Amino acid sequence: MSDSSNEFNVSVDNDSINISINIERFDFNAYSSFRKTYTDLSSGSRYKIDFSQVRFLDSTALGMLLMFREYNGTDNKFIQFINCSKEIVDILRVANFDQLFVLNN
């Protein structure tokens, strides 16, 4: 497993905390580093998660995203998924994540 600083980068701008996923396969192997990434953050009101490098995600990744949402106590208008490929958007929509998060491709 890679170091979390390689798999996930965090930056902050004026209105959001941004998490970039720097791996092609967002799956169980990323669980520990993803959890460490978001639990180490100070609480924010808006989050953007950048999926530009993600080509595959499985049900474990979907569960991790739900845990992230629950951990932060935020609703769908405050967590935005950005730079998603069409395939990733399709997976997220089939799982009804468009009801829980803002999806931007």
**Residue 40 pLDDT more than 50?**
yes
> Angle, to 10 degrees, between the axis of helix 31-39 and the axis of helix 59-72?
10
Mean model confidence pLDDT for the chain? 89
Give the residue-averaged pLDDT of 64-74.
88
Full-model pTM? 0.88
Q: Can you give the residue ranges of every domain in the chain? A: 4-103
Q: Which CATH superfamily is domain 4-103 in?
A: STAS domain (3.30.750.24)
3-state secondary structure of 20: strand
Q: What pLDDT shows up at residue 10?
A: 94
State how far the Cα of 78 lies from the Cα of 86, in Å rounded to an integer: 22
In angstroms, the Cα distances linking 45 to 31, 60, 88, 92, 98 are 23, 25, 25, 22, 19
Q: What pLDDT shows up at residue 13?
A: 87
**Residue 2 pLDDT more than 50?**
no
E strand or H helix that includes residue 85: none
Name the DSSP class of 47: E
**Residue 6 pLDDT more than 90?**
no
Q: Which of 77, 11, 70 is nearest to 35 (CA)?
A: 70
3-state secondary structure of 87: helix
Stronger pLDDT, 12 or 77, i.e. the higher one: 12
**Residue 5 pLDDT more than 90?**
no
Stronger pLDDT, 75 or 45, i.e. the higher one: 45
3-state secondary structure of 56: strand
Q: How far is CA 18 from the centre of its chain?
A: 9
